A and B are shown apart, each in its own frame.
Chain A
């Protein structure tokens, strides 16, 4: 049984560019949450998707947007990248919006 998978593993972008990160949830899971983990910090909640809709959003600007597909996979898009967007982006999936979350290995984004 595959766990949560994320792609790519690493990504390097320059300021002002746009990036798309991808997540496939664990089998049987229908809810995907995204977190940003800056170096030396704990993960910060970005948003959560359930039934292809954004259900809750953390304190992140509109440059951060997402999407969930009918197969429950999800994308995180970040526009107009800033140096401060450099972080590990973690995806977590769960069965419904109230069950235990399982985390993927993350995508390391570096903005130069």
Chain B
């Protein structure tokens, strides 16, 4: 079945450092891909998405490009802030009759001042 694999955390960075969180997927067909963020004690917020190959999703300085050839959707940010500390989830949209999301296990990002 469809699945998402994320790099394990925690990822610890200093403020203003460059961030990459790797995400690869296995799916039949061409799923939509998402990054969600979960701040401590909160639910999930959609960070960005891409619906087809070579699309680039971006929001709040974060970017991710849908790479069909490598089945990847890596999350990047050029300069992280302490406020970016959170858990980041990569997800794909199941291509069936519903909009069921399949999530990776999440990557904890800790940004130190």
Q: How many A-B residue pairs have CB under 8 A?
A: 63
A42 and B105 within 8 A (CB): yes
Residues of B within 8 A of A (CB-CB), count: 21
**In the complex, are the beta carbons of B89 and A97 less than 8 A apart?**
no
The residues of B that contact A104 with a CB separation of less than 8 Å are 43
Query: What is the CB-to-nearest-CB distance from A79 to chain B, in angstroms, rounded to a whole number?
Result: 23
Q: Given A48-B98, A55-B97, A97-B98, are A43 and B45 neighbors across the interface (CB < 8 Å)?
A: no
Residues of B within 8 A of A105 (CB): 42-43
In the complex, which residues 1-40 of chain B have their Cβ closer than 8 Å to any Cβ of chain A? 4, 36
B104 adjacent to chain A (CB < 8 Å): yes
B103 at interface, CB cutoff 8 A: yes
Bound CA span A43–B101, Å: 9
Chain A to chain B: the 5 pairs with minimum beta-carbon distance, closest first: A42-B103, A103-B44, A105-B43, A56-B98, A103-B43
Q: Which residues of B are at the interface with A, using a C-beta cutoff of 8 A?
A: 4, 36, 42-46, 49, 89, 91, 96-106
Residues of A at under 8 Å CB distance from B? 4, 31, 33, 35, 40-45, 48, 50, 55-56, 58, 90, 92, 94, 97-106
